[in-house]
Amino acid sequence: MDPLIQVKNISKSFGQTRVLDGISLSIDKGEILAIIGPSGSGKSTLIRCLNGLEKVDSGRVNIGGTLVESTQSVAGRVGMVFQQFNLFPHYTVLNNIVRPLETVKKLPAREARSKARALLEQVRLEDKEDQYPRSLSGGQQQRLAIARALSMTPDIMLFDEPTSSLDPELAFEVFETIRTIASRHMTMILVTHQMNMVKNFANRVLFLEKGNILFDGSFESLMASENSRIQQFLKKIYP
Ligand SMILES: Nc1ncnc2c1ncn2[C@@H]1O[C@H](COP(=O)(O)OP(=O)(O)OP(=O)(O)O)[C@@H](O)[C@H]1O
Ligand SMILES: [Mg+2]
């Protein structure tokens, strides 16, 4: 079986800075890949290239055989959850899910509402549907963002530090939501500094540094790595 995601020798620069330096990577359906590495190493840029939010300078990204050229080319197939939630502030909780279902998935209003309600129940926000995002806690906002991404029935979910703006208790709620998604064998890529998430969810870990893959393997072998750069990084974030 071909890998679901194929990244072939992609490079990306912003001005003089080469942020991705010829990265190649294959990800199979059902894999849960964690990406770690120092700030500025290119983690966000890499996953943004996977859903077309960022255009590569050279190389190519294929998802299920489709060349990723823009967000349009993978519309509905790749869901993304950001650190800063990116909800629609002027829509109610329910409409944050209903409106994209109507416009992107072309569902009739009634069907969109019932689907949105089912998703809100899954992330335990069923009693919040008439509120606006600003009145939700950070953890609730992030769970809404996850529900909205899931409503598009994507093949792949990308998470960019989904819990890093949350205090530990709220982060734990989001963690639990991600655990539920992981248990459904969704293909996931998770950028995080939280090694407990890496340990719990990921069956594969990538360590990025300066736009290069320094490590690609299991959590256990990462822990056993003798690379001094990796050891130094881990000592800081996973003492
Ligand atoms: N749109 C942009 N314009 C200019 N420079 C950018 C842009 N996006 C990212 N960069 C630069 O590219 C480099 C990599 O950024 P990126 O956000 O991918 O890093 P990261 O590994 O996700 O870091 P962090 O852990 O801090 O989120 C950084 O030096 C950043 O300043
Ligand atoms: Mg980042």
- Taken in order of first residue, the domains within the chain and their CATH numbers are 5-237 (3.40.50.300)
Report whether 159 contacts 187 (CB < 8 A): no
Q: What is the pLDDT of residues 198-239, one digit of tens each?
A: 998 899 999 999 999 999 999 999 999 999 999 999 999 888
Is the minimum distance from the CB of 67 to ligand 1 under 6 angstroms? no
If one residue of 13, 43, 50 were mutated to test the ligand 1 pocket, choosing by the most ligand atoms within 8 A of its CB, it would be 43
Give the closest residue (by CA) to ligand 1 atom 18. 42
Distance CA 235, CA 239 (A): 5
SS3 label, residue 215: strand
Residue 76 has a pLDDT of 84
Q: What is the CA radius of gyration of the chain?
A: 18
Q: Separation of 40 CA from ligand 1 center, angstroms?
A: 5
Q: What is the pLDDT of residues 116-159, one digit of tens each?
A: 999 999 999 999 999 999 999 999 999 999 999 999 999 999 99
Nearest ligand to residue 42 Cα = 1
Q: What is the pLDDT of residues 24-48, one digit of tens each?
A: 999 999 999 999 999 999 999 999 9
Classify residue 158 by burial, with Cβ atoms within 10 Å: 0-12, 13-18, 19+: buried
Is the minimum distance from the CB of 43 to ligand 1 under 6 angstroms? yes
Residue 89 has a pLDDT of 96
Bridge partners of 67?
62
Give the closest residue (by CA) to ligand 1 atom 29. 40
Is the minimum distance from the CB of 35 to ligand 1 under 6 angstroms? no
SS3 label, residue 171: helix
SS3 label, residue 19: strand
User: Identity (one letter) of the amino acid at 97?
Assistant: I
Is the minimum distance from the CB of 192 to ligand 1 under 6 angstroms? no
- pTM of the predicted protein model: 0.94
Is the minimum distance from the CB of 17 to ligand 1 under 6 angstroms? yes
Q: Among 167, 209, 196, which residue's Cα sits nearest to residue 36? A: 209
> Dihedral angle at the C-alpha atoms of 164, 165, 166, 167, nearest 10 degrees?
90
Residue written as token pair 């939010």: 53
Pairing mode, strands 5-14 and 17-27: antiparallel
